[in-house]
Amino acid sequence: MNSGHRGIRGIFSPPLPFQRLLFNKKGSSYFDLMIKTLVVITLMVTVVSFLSVFTTYLNLDHICRRVVRVVELDGQVSDQAYDVFYQLKQQTGLSPEMTVENVEYCEDQKIQLRDTFTITMTYSYPFTVFTPSFSPPVVIEIPMKVSITGMSEHYWKLPE
């Protein structure tokens, strides 16, 4: 085969049938649609995977709200509050840390009627970017923090 016949660019240009195929515009919209579909699917998958971050934050907020309500009704950071906390941890599959702040206890862990307290929950959400088959998954830790202030609804009659 004479290489001198390969188009105007000489011997480095692609073979003639392949060149013709590349410059042929027939069916280009089909390829265009395929690439666009791929891009849209990739974008949708990215958005859906980001939704898990928001779901986790909502779950954390829910746990915190429920625990605050229990402490409000009990008027103390009781075993019941910790029971609800552990139960919700199991239900949601999260493992946040709980701290009680800005509180003035009147006795043991008791909070007097109308005294306020703040419960803070912190959690580090491991967001998996991608999982290569030859190495461990690439993970970004997203720190989350929810603080909710409550008020005791229990009146403790203390000895004078």
CB of residue 154 to another protein, shortest distance in Å: 7
CB of residue 58 to another protein, shortest distance in Å: 16
CB of residue 80 to another protein, shortest distance in Å: 13
Q: Closer to another protein by CB, 32 or 79: give it.
A: 79
Q: Closer to another protein by CB, 127 or 156: give it.
A: 156
Amino acid at 101: E
Is residue 61 a contact residue for another protein (CB under 8 A)? no
* C-alpha–C-alpha distance, residues 94 and 138, integer Å: 20
**Selected binder of another protein within 20, 36, 114, 145 (CB under 8 A):** 114
Number of CB atoms found within 10 A of residue 154's CB? 16
CB of residue 148 to another protein, shortest distance in Å: 12
* C-alpha–C-alpha distance, residues 50 and 113, integer Å: 42
CB of residue 157 to another protein, shortest distance in Å: 4
Q: Which residues between 3 and 22 bind another protein (CB under 8 A)?
A: none
Three-state SS for 126?
A: strand
**Selected binder of another protein within 72, 84, 94, 148 (CB under 8 A):** 72
- Applying CB under 8 A, the site for another protein has a residue count of 11
Reported as type and span, the H/E element at residue 137 is none
Is residue 103 a contact residue for another protein (CB under 8 A)? no
Of 138, 75, 81, nearest in space to 112 by CA: 75
Burial call 110-131: b when 16+ CB within 10 Å, e when fewer: bbbeebebebbbebebeeeeee
Number of CB atoms found within 10 A of residue 12's CB? 8
Q: Which residues between 123 and 152 bind another protein (CB under 8 A)?
A: 151
